[in-house]
Chains A and B, each alone.
Chain A
Amino acid sequence: MESLSNKKKQLEVKPLNFWERAYLPTIAKGLSITMSHFFKKPVTIKYPEEKREFSENFRGMHSLKRDEDGRERCTACGLCALSCPAEAITMQAAERQKGEENLYREEKYAAVYEINMLRCIFCGLCEEACPKEAIYLDGDIIPSDYLRKDFIYGKDKLVEAPLNQ
């Protein structure tokens, strides 16, 4: 049948000549390309050991900040959890007892604070919602792991290290 678009090309299949049938020159050519790459600078990097420079507004792992006196800033107001489109954040509030004033800044604090890193989409809305400047996504890429439960990060992983240590 005749083509309507008239773009079809008719290909001629020619029989291979002697050099083409021999294959060896083509193999040698291919290997020489491979070999030449041994002496070029690689475009990839060995990731966990080497790291590329992140952009300034890169959003990685969350950290719960401390204030200048080393007290936790988070007051468990729940606005991060409310703003989270992936519903990755949960928390439980507790009341600060007498004598804990050097640990927590406000009279209420987050006793449990969990982020499910498999749910998190790193949009940074929690950072924007936080009225206490307590949460920032300034960490690294989340490391891989084998079990799903290990991706639920609690306060032990999220809270910033104390100042004097």
Chain B
Amino acid sequence: MKVTIDNISIEVEAGTTILNAARMIGGEIVPPAMCYYSKLQGSGGKCRTCLVKVSQGSEKDPRPMPKLVASCRTTVMDGMVVQNITSPEVIEARKGVVEMLLINHPLDCPVCDQAGECHLQDLGYEHGAAKTRYEFDRRTFDKIDIGDKIQLHMTRCILCYRCVFTADQITDHRIHGILNRGDHSEISTYIQKAVDNDFSGNVIDVCPVGALTDKTFRFKNRVWFTKPVEAHRECQTEGCCGKVTLWYKGEDVIRVTGRKDEYGEVEEFICNTCRFDKKKTADWVIEGPRKVSNKSVINSNHYDTLKPLPVVKTNPVLQEANKEQFERETRL
């Protein structure tokens, strides 16, 4: 099936969603997604940030779709023409969606551990207005501990349902869900029952905001002062791939997360042993530094790269000395 997204055509299989077709093309034209998660069945359709305009329904019926559609839930038709960033209507609608998502969000980014890798922060930066028009009190909740390693800040939640799908699909029985309806919905467990499954830590990774955070990393450091390194280990837990990203501060591993791709989705889920208990370099086989986008705040202000002067490049003795000096300086 041929689909054209922002004047770029691609052949995709029947049943592919517009969002996935855009991801096959890649680049700037991929709609942002806060709730859709390709690894979780049934996710998507909640947040409306991936709205696109379908200006031609299909080859047979070229009428445009009457309203903007959620690209994560709409499958492509042959000859469909989609507009994302080329349509001002979509940009305007997305701006409205971001404002809507931020209505009850506390904007406590200076406190939040997710800041620096938060999708809502990125989205707000790209589309949102600098000021809020909302004049009423934001809804507030107390912090809840879900087990001893995970903390839930319901105030920051945007109700994307990703963690609910994770708890449903990765863990064996349901213990975590949405209570109440509409404006009053909240993520919770049954009377603060601890989530004690081997894979419960993945709800932290799937959360696009800082609603579910790692208590072992709580306030330890800011994301942009840590150094991400790819690593793996032979994990005994069934279903755990053992491939993770270690977040170093100096010599210490202060956090372990799953390996996320460019859309912020983990490649494979990891178990709680890998995430919470293995925080020594000796536990891991280091593969190398994680690639971080140039635009990311994690990449800013990192001056300690080995860039020898032109004269050093040709002289092996100087090269060796330069390396030693660099190692000494970075250790200090």
Contacts and interface: CB of A to CB of B under 8 A. Distances in A.
A61 B110 CA distance: 24
Nearest to B220: A93
Q: Is the interface of A mostly helix, strand, loop or mixed?
A: loop
A131 B219 CA distance: 17
B102 to A, nearest CB: 16
Interface string B194-226: 000000000000000000000000111110110
A78 interface: yes
A100 interface: no
A81 interface: yes
Contact of B297 (A81, A82, A94): A82
A119 interface: no
A108 B219 contact: yes
Nearest to B300: A82
A77 B111 contact: yes
Contact of A81 (B220, B225, B303): B225
A75 B224 contact: no
A102 B129 CA distance: 33
Q: Is the interface of B mostly helix, strand, loop or mixed?
A: loop
A107 interface: yes
A69 interface: no
B276 to A, nearest CB: 18
A131 B121 CA distance: 15
A77 B222 contact: yes
Nearest to A108: B111
A65 to B, nearest CB: 15
A107 B108 CA distance: 10
Contacts, number: 38
Contact of B115 (A77, A81, A107, A132): A77
Contacts of B109: 77, 131
B110 A77 contact: yes
Interface string B157-195: 000000000000000000000000000000000000000
B293 interface: no
A106 B301 contact: no
A36 B219 CA distance: 67
Given A78-B225, A93-B219, A95-B218, A132 B110 contact: yes
A120 interface: no
B111 A106 contact: yes
Contacts of B297: 82
Contacts of B221: 78, 93
A79 interface: yes
A163 to B, nearest CB: 23
A64 B222 CA distance: 20
Nearest to B143: A107
A106 B109 CA distance: 11
Nearest to A134: B110
Contacts of B220: 93
A106 B224 contact: no
B78 to A, nearest CB: 49
Contact of A79 (B108, B110, B111, B303): B110
The 5 closest A-B pairs by CB, nearest first: A77-B110, A78-B222, A93-B219, A108-B111, A75-B110
